[in-house]
């Protein structure tokens, strides 16, 4: 005699079959669904019962179409193009380790129609991408969420790569965590260091051995400059690299052709005025971050003000010139 439990599960299994096995190009007839229920889930039902289940699913707002060839799930939470964008984002995320990247991509694929896998066969394997080897990143994200929710500090080792291409501890940090920020394809923990009394941005893929402490975190509103919360637009434009400094007004000269890159880095709110064939651009940015940004475009960008930053650029360029100078015979 057929048990009661499979009949109760039949509705869910019909939805699962439609989700996993159908799309506009792969409809299923009622007879095929009946066969799949028996083969995959050991559920024996009549053709009419499957029809009633589909009617119930439609009443529950699932868009199930019938084009004469059979039934299929006509609408999903994500379009294929959206899922492809998510997969590409995972592949390009250097802070997500290879194994976890594979798991994420497999989960994303399960959100798609049955024919989606064929469209992503040309994606490069995860191992071919530059990925972190720090497997604790996701666990640390959970700890940070816990610490923020409970108003506690976190303690962790901060690491840098050595000549052996392995992470080595350089310091132990205790900070009040506020937010996780994705910037320049890197994942950063934004927190407040009570000892040094300034905001820090530490890369998640450089953090190991994190624990949530019993120490109460410093409220963000008590940190100078953050009384009104976090200005994400300010962070993304004022710090092209995540140096925890007070932004200053910086003027740079650049050719008009470089405006595309300037807008990419600093946004459209920059002040621009003509200066012959060049432009003078005013930006509010962290000085050290701006130093390294200017060096990146040293062949075409000149820091005009402040003088203190110009002097730092001159010193760095002088040191670089010495390094690249030809040896005297």
Task: Tell me if 235 is assigned to some domain.
Answer: no
Rank 11-20, 208-217, 264-273, 290-299 by mean pLDDT and report only the highest: 208-217
Q: What pLDDT is attached to residue 4?
A: 46
Task: Tell me if 181 is assigned to some domain.
Answer: yes
Query: Mean pLDDT for the chain?
Result: 84
Task: Tell me if 240 is assigned to some domain.
Answer: no
Q: Does residue 315 share a domain with residue 288?
A: yes
Q: Which domain holds residue 108?
A: 80-128
Tell me the per-residue pLDDT of 57-92, one tens digit each, with 9 for 90 and over. 999 999 999 998 999 988 887 877 788 778 777 776
- For residue 299, the tally of other CB atoms under 10 A from its CB is 5
Q: Does residue 255 share a domain with residue 203?
A: no
Q: Rounded CA gap, 183 and 180, in Å?
A: 10
Q: What is the CATH number of the domain that holds 49?
A: 1.10.10.10
Task: Tell me if 145 is assigned to some domain.
Answer: yes
Q: In Å, how far from its chain's centre is CA 213?
A: 26
Q: What is the CATH number of the domain that holds 275?
A: 3.30.70
Q: Which of 187, 134, 130, 182 is nearest to 157 (CA)?
A: 134
Whether the per-residue pLDDT at 161 is higher than 70: the answer is yes
Q: Rounded CA gap, 171 and 210, in Å?
A: 13
Q: For the whole prediction, is pTM greater than 0.85?
A: no
Task: Tell me if 297 is assigned to some domain.
Answer: yes
Q: Does residue 224 share a domain with residue 154?
A: yes
Tell me the per-residue pLDDT of 255-307, one tens digit each, with 9 for 90 and over. 988 888 888 788 777 889 999 889 999 988 888 888 988 998 999 999 999 99
Task: Tell me if 196 is assigned to some domain.
Answer: yes
The last residue of a domain, from among 73, 90, 107: 73
The last residue of a domain, from among 230, 256, 284: 230
Q: What pLDDT is attached to residue 162?
A: 77
Tell me the per-residue pLDDT of 115-149, one tens digit each, with 9 for 90 and over. 666 555 545 455 555 566 677 888 898 899 999 99
Q: Rounded CA gap, 232 and 32, in Å?
A: 53
Task: Tell me if 280 is assigned to some domain.
Answer: yes
| Tally of domains in the chain | 4
Q: Extract the tokens encoding 329.
A: 């015979």
Q: What is the CATH number of the domain that holds 217?
A: 2.30.30
Task: Tell me if 133 is assigned to some domain.
Answer: no
Q: Does residue 154 share a domain with residue 111?
A: no
Q: Which of 300, 308, 316, 296 is nearest to 249 (CA)?
A: 308
Rank 4-18, 175-189, 292-306 by mean pLDDT and report only the highest: 292-306
Rank 122-136, 179-193, 202-216, 286-300 by mean pLDDT and report only the highest: 202-216
């Amino acid at each position: 005699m057929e048990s009661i439990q499979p009949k109760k599960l039949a509705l869910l299994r019909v939805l699962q079959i439609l989700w996993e096995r159908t799309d506009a190009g792969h409809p299923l007839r009622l007879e095929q669904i009946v066969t799949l229920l028996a083969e995959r889930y050991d559920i024996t039902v009549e053709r009419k019962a499957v029809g009633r289940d589909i009617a119930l699913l439609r009443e529950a707002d699932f868009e199930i179409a019938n084009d004469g060839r059979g039934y299929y799930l006509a609408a999903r939470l994500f379009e294929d193009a959206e899922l492809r964008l998510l997969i590409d984002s995972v592949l390009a995320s250097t802070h997500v380790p290879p194994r976890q990247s594979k798991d994420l991509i497999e989960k994303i694929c399960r959100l798609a129609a049955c024919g989606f896998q064929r469209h992503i066969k040309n994606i490069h394997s995860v191992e071919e991408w530059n990925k972190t080897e720090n497997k604790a990143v996701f666990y640390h994200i959970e700890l940070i969420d816990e610490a923020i929710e409970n108003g506690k500090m976190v303690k962790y080792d901060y690491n840098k790569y050595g000549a052996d291409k392995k992470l080595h501890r350089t310091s132990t940090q205790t900070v009040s965590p506020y937010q996780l920020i994705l910037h320049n394809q890197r994942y950063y923990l934004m927190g407040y260091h009570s000892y040094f009394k300034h905001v820090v941005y530490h890369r998640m893929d450089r953090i190991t051995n994190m624990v949530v402490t019993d120490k109460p975190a410093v409220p963000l509103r008590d940190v100078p400059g953050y009384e009104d919360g976090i200005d994400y637009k300010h962070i993304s434009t004022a710090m092209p690299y995540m140096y925890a400094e007070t932004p200053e007004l910086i003027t740079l000269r650049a050719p008009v052709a470089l405006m595309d890159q300037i807008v990419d880095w600093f946004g459209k709110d920059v002040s621009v005025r003509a200066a012959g064939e060049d432009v003078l651009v005013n930006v509010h940015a962290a000085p050290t971050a701006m130093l390294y940004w200017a060096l990146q475009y040293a062949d075409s960008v000149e820091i005009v003000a402040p003088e203190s930053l110009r002097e730092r650029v001159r010193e760095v360029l002088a040191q670089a010139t010495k390094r690249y100078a030809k040896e005297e015979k």
